[in-house]
Amino acid sequence: MTVADGRAIITVLGQDRVGILAGITAVLAAANVNILDISQTILQEFFTMIMVVDLKGSNLDFFDLQKQLKARGEELGVQVTMQQAEVFKFMHRI
Amino acid sequence: MPTLFSFTPEEILETIRMVQVENLDIRTITLGISLRDCATGSLKETCRRVYDKITRRAEKLVAVGEEVATAYGIPIVNKRIAVTPIAQVGEPSGESDLTPLARTLDRAAQEVGVNFIGGFSALVHKGFTKGDRAIFNSLPEALATTERVCASVNVATTRAGMNMDAIAELGQLIKKTAQLTADRGGIGCAKLVTFCNAPEDNPFMAGAFHGPGEPECVLNVGISGPGVVLAAVRQHPEADLGKLATIIKNTAFKVTRMGELVGREVSARLGVPFGIVDLSLAPTNALGDSVAEILEAIGLERCGAHGTTAALALLNDAVKKGGAMASSYVGGLSGAFIPVSEDNGMIRAVESGALSLEKLEAMTAVCSVGLDMFAVPGDTPAEVIAAIIADEAAIGMINNKTTAVRVIPVPGKKPGDMVEFGGLLGRAPVMRVNNFSPAAMIRRGGRIPAPVQALGN
């Protein structure tokens, strides 16, 4: 699947523990996905990590990467979502 | 907190919460397909062409819908099809029974994987053509013997008045349809909508059809989001009603933007023009996905209490104002839906005695779309059902708006009983009906003339 501007937002929600960032970024590195920005915080008692990634150089298609991230999230006990960045732009800006 | 390009982490999490906790979804993407070029002098040949055209045009609808939903992380609950009113497609065949066309639509819908196909319809607000007559002949059998076919009839418009002959006949047809599907709680009636001022581009079932002014093929989107609005209202218990309207507008804006985004993307991938976004709040039986509960969160002990009509007027208008800003093309029904069986708050309101049929009718005067998915006793006379339709159509005709009736006279059930339809159609408590007879009025027949459009007080 092609992606309009090649950008996606990955959100990770769950209980904080050692190795979440390493686990997720390992999947991205293996897929040759560049991380453009990252924010990590505790929001409403939840560990919350938000990444903006560039998929242009990715060697996986969007849906395969989405599946791998989800599977890694399950191993780590966190919920991982990847969505095209357009969703957020569209919802909050005109 | 850093800003990630143009949005903040709070905005990103708000979107995620709306989807994962508050049931934000796209309720339906509905592909409108014209079947006018399928009409022939032979019903068999017409059926063949209809099947071929639908299965060709809608071949990728479900797959593309799922692809876009996954990419954006916004669920698209239903993929559906609306077609040219079958009265017009079947008419040249000269047949008086169009049930075979209903079965063809059912098979085509099954083949492409959509759960409903709308358009077994007739527009009879001024009177009947042979094709319209054939639809009326076929309605009970068509609804009883198909699973996915939805039917609708337009019996009135503000410009033409009301066809009381058609309304009287529908009272009989609805009773007959209930009898034919008595083993399933009269479910056939849940697939039949009687309209005043029917929109030509409504994506929501059961009333969707592809109107005469529509293009060859078009994609329309129905948004949802009662859960999102409910959460927003609950977060502001102290806001006065003006502020509350603004909060609802903001929420409706965001929900509608998702419909606009998904609609544009799906239509681009299917190679068909994007029609409209329908700004309706469509409830489901999921926890918190209720329009009635929004009204209660505004400050009513139960939906149906005095004040309900005013609260609903505020809600409906705020949803439209927020939504209109968010979409380039708004159409369809666009307002809050108040189906009884599909909204847990509505069900509770009826069960607790807070909501009567009369109050429900009053509510329909200020929102879309009308008296929807409510059950009445199976022994309700056909004339009473016709009169319920007539009252509702009169509200639409005089107020220049769409109104509709989807009533299920449940065979063997009495007021207070419960009927289960299952799935999306939910469950409905049987409501008490005023049985003082309107039979003499209904027997008069004829047309109620169109109302004067000036002198508007």
Cβ–Cβ of B261/A86 closer than 8 Å?
yes
Q: Which of B5, B228, B256 is the best residue to mutate to test the A interface, defined by the most A CB atoms within 10 Å of its own CB?
A: B5
- Residues 6+ away with beta carbon under 8 Å from B54: B33, B35, B81, B83, B105, B108, B109, B112, B117
Write the pLDDT tens digit of every residue in B128-173: 999 999 999 999 999 999 999 999 999 999 999 999 999 999 999 9
Cβ–Cβ of B6/A39 closer than 8 Å?
no
Q: What is the pLDDT of residue B149?
A: 98
Mean pLDDT of B251-272: 94
- The domain of A50 spans 7-92
pLDDT band at B4 (very low <50, low <70, confident <90, very high): low
Any A CB within 8 A of B399 CB: no
pLDDT band at B1 (very low <50, low <70, confident <90, very high): very low
**Domain membership flag for residue A54:** yes
CATH number at residue A87: 3.30.70.260
Q: Which of A54, A87, A89, A93 is the best residue to mutate to test the B interface, defined by the most B CB atoms within 10 Å of its own CB?
A: A87
Q: What mean pLDDT value characterizes chain B?
A: 94
Q: What percent of chain B has pLDDT over 90?
A: 87
Write the pLDDT tens digit of every residue in B384-434: 999 999 999 999 999 999 999 999 999 999 999 999 998 888 999 999 999
Residue B287 carries which side chain, given as an amino acid letter?
L
**Domain membership flag for residue A2:** no
Write the pLDDT tens digit of every residue in B429-455: 999 999 899 999 999 999 999 999 887
pLDDT digit string (tens) for chain A, length 94 residues: 444 458 999 999 998 888 999 999 999 999 999 999 998 887 767 788 999 999 999 999 999 999 999 999 999 999 999 999 888 888 887 7
Any B CB within 8 A of A52 CB: yes
Any B CB within 8 A of A54 CB: no
Q: What is the pLDDT of residue A5?
A: 57
B78 and B24 Cβ atoms separated by less than 8 Å: no
Q: What is the pLDDT of residue A4?
A: 46
| Site of tokens 């009839």 | B153
pLDDT at B111 over 50: yes
Nearest to B15 among A1, A62, A87 (CB): A87
Mean pLDDT of B18-35: 91
Residue of chain B minimizing CA distance to A87: B72
Write the pLDDT tens digit of every residue in B344-362: 999 999 999 999 999 999 9
**Domain membership flag for residue A1:** no
- Residues 6+ away with beta carbon under 8 Å from B212: B84, B85, B88, B200
Quickly count helices (H) and strands (E) in chain A.
3, 4
**Domain membership flag for residue A20:** yes
Q: What is the pLDDT of residue A3?
A: 44
**Domain membership flag for residue A16:** yes
pLDDT band at B12 (very low <50, low <70, confident <90, very high): confident
Q: Of B320, B323, B209, nearest to B259 (Cα)?
A: B323
pLDDT band at B19 (very low <50, low <70, confident <90, very high): confident
| Complex ipTM more than 0.85, yes or no | no
pLDDT at B259 over 60: yes
**Domain membership flag for residue A78:** yes
Least confident interval from B2-16, B99-113, B269-283:
B2-16
pLDDT band at B11 (very low <50, low <70, confident <90, very high): confident
Cβ–Cβ of A93/B7 closer than 8 Å?
yes
Domains of chain B: 30-196 (3.20.70.20), 221-448 (3.20.70.20)
Q: What is the pLDDT of residue B192?
A: 98
Cβ–Cβ of B9/A93 closer than 8 Å?
no
Nearest to B9 among A7, A41, A87 (CB): A41
Least confident interval from B15-19, B105-109, B344-348:
B15-19
How close is the nearest chain B Cα to the Cα of A9, in Å? Answer: 9
Looking at the 3D structure of chain A, how many domains does it have?
1
| Site of tokens 């009265």 | B87
pLDDT band at B5 (very low <50, low <70, confident <90, very high): low
Q: What is the pLDDT of residue B435?
A: 87
How close is the nearest chain B Cα to the Cα of A83, in Å? Answer: 5
∠ CA B51-B57-B60, rounded to 5°: 115
**Domain membership flag for residue A71:** yes
- Residues 6+ away with beta carbon under 8 Å from B293: B226, B230, B303, B344, B345
Mean pLDDT of B355-382: 95
Write the pLDDT tens digit of every residue in B206-235: 999 999 999 999 999 999 889 999 999 999
| B9 or B74, higher pLDDT | B74
Any B CB within 8 A of A91 CB: yes
Phi-psi region of B337 (alpha: psi -120 to 50; beta: other; left: phi over 0): beta
